[in-house]
Amino acid sequence: MSDDLLRRIRVHGSVPSHIAIIMDGNGRWARGRALPRPLGHHAGMGAVREVIQGCLDAQVGVLSLFAFSQENWQRPAGEIDALMSLLEEYIAREVDNLREKRVSVRILGELDRLAPGARQAVDRVMAETAHGTELALNLCISYSSRAEITRAARALAEDAAAGRLDPSDIDEEAVARRLYTAPWPDPDLLIRTSGEMRISNFLLWQLAYAELYVTPVLWPDFTRRHLFEAILEFQRRERRFGRVTV
């Protein structure tokens, strides 16, 4: 069934270079089944596998997943512990598979706030997958877009104060080079699950011209097929980047 969609994607030809996803609705998925919230996050790991495989199949170059925001540190301690354990479990289970599929993983965010076990796990997955060439997977953890932009502004100010940079040379390129996402093109497509119409402090700079796709599907139910439907919808959109159609 989803292979039929994949064929249609290939016929069209133009696939997003970079897809960003706000994975939302784990809590509601769990509540709907009278389960504790952490079990919703656990089920969300399956959808992470689905979209990674879908991006490999469709030959999307970069996938950025919003896994844990800086604002999420305000959740109850038990839920934060469960999410951090899940991250360690995910990495322990998947690192070999990711390396074999040539996925290179980067973690974007304030890693210094992670507990030692989670920090070791993320350092391990980045080191062990560094040579992947098929898909760049960005896991945004302890990530806030405003904090990322602030960090870039600070780096520019430090370079200017030290005489390494003339303030008149500060252009959009100079800012973009100091963001976590410097090595990759901006996302072409932003997917948000669970129906919420918000960007939630995710990649605010980088999403300037992204196509937005919001689906009511809760994250744990999101499959490769849903990803392909989003890509097909993207292929139907007309992107003008502020210009007019001739």
Closest approach of ligand FPP to the CB of residue 53, in Å = 14
C-beta nearest to ligand FPP: residue? 27
Distance CA 104, CA 61 (A): 11
Angle at which helices 2-12 and 224-236 cross, to 10°: 30
Cα→Cα distances 244→14, 233, 240, 241, Å: 20, 21, 6, 9
Tell which residue, 64, 43, 63, 35, has the closest CA to residue 202.
Answer: 64
Active site residue 72: yes
Which secondary-structure segment (H or E) carries 69? strand 62-69
Closest approach of ligand FPP to the CB of residue 162, in Å = 37
Mark the segment that binds ligand FPP (CB under 6 A) among 19-27, 102-110, 130-138, 237-245: 19-27
Binding status of residue 202 toward ligand FPP by CB under 6 A: no
Among 9, 15, 16, 44, binds ligand FPP (CB under 6 A): 44
Binding status of residue 28 toward ligand FPP by CB under 6 A: yes
Query: Of 3, 26, 72, 201, which residue is the catalytic one?
Result: 72
Quick check: 48 and 220 in contact, CB under 8 A?
no
Angle at which helices 37-58 and 2-12 cross, to 10°: 50
Looking at residue 228, what DSSP letter applies? H
Closest approach of ligand FPP to the CB of residue 232, in Å = 23
Q: Nearer to ligand FPP by C-beta: 9 or 23?
A: 23
Query: Of 24, 26, 188, 221, which residue is the catalytic one?
Result: 24
Q: Nearer to ligand FPP by C-beta: 48 or 227?
A: 48
Indicate which residues carry an active-site annotation: 24, 72
Query: Under the rule (CB under 6 A), what is the footprint of ligand FPP?
Result: 23-28, 41, 44-45, 48, 67-68, 72, 86-87, 90, 139, 194, 219
